[in-house]
Amino acid sequence: MDSLTPDRRSANMSRIRSKDTKPEMLIRRLLHGLGYRYRLHRRDLPGAPDLVFPSRRKVILVHGCFWHQHKGCIDGRLPKSREDYWLPKLLRNVERDRKNTGKLRRGGWKVMKLWECEILKDKSIQKRLTDFLG
C-alpha cells in the first residue's frame, strides 16, 4: 500500500523534470566531448526532440523508462496504486511518442530512441551514437 499523502505525492511529482534529466545530460556531455554539435528541444519539430542534428537530419530521443513505458524494463512497470489514473496517462505518452516519431520519419528525419536504462548501464552507447550520427 502506498503510504504517501496526496500532498507529499504532489510534491514528489512536481520535482520530476522533462528536460535536462540525468540521462539526457550524460548523452549531451558524451556527444559534445566527441565533437558533435546539436540543437536542444526544437519546438518546430514534432515532440520537440531532445537532441537535433539539423545538417544530418537526425534526432535523438532520450526516454525515461517509466514515463515512456519501456517494455521489458523493471522501471517501465505500472504503479500498483491508482491504476485507473496511471494507465491512461502512460498510454497517452506512448501513443504520442509513436505519432511524433512517425511524423519525424515522414518528414525525412532519422530517429534514434535511447532508454534511460540503456544510457546508465550500456557500455556500447558511445559506439551506437557514433554509428547513428556517422
pLDDT averaged per 10 residues in sequence order, the chain, 134 residues? 63 65 94 97 97 98 95 88 91 97 98 94 90 96
Assign 111 to helix, strand or coil: strand
AA identity, residue 127: K
Cβ–Cβ < 8 Å for 126, 34: yes
Whole-Å CA distances, 26 to 14, 39, 78: 22, 16, 26
Which class does domain 18-133 fall in? alpha beta
CA–CA separation, 132 and 61 (whole Å): 13
The whole-number pLDDT of residue 1 equals 45
**pTM (2 d.p.):** 0.85
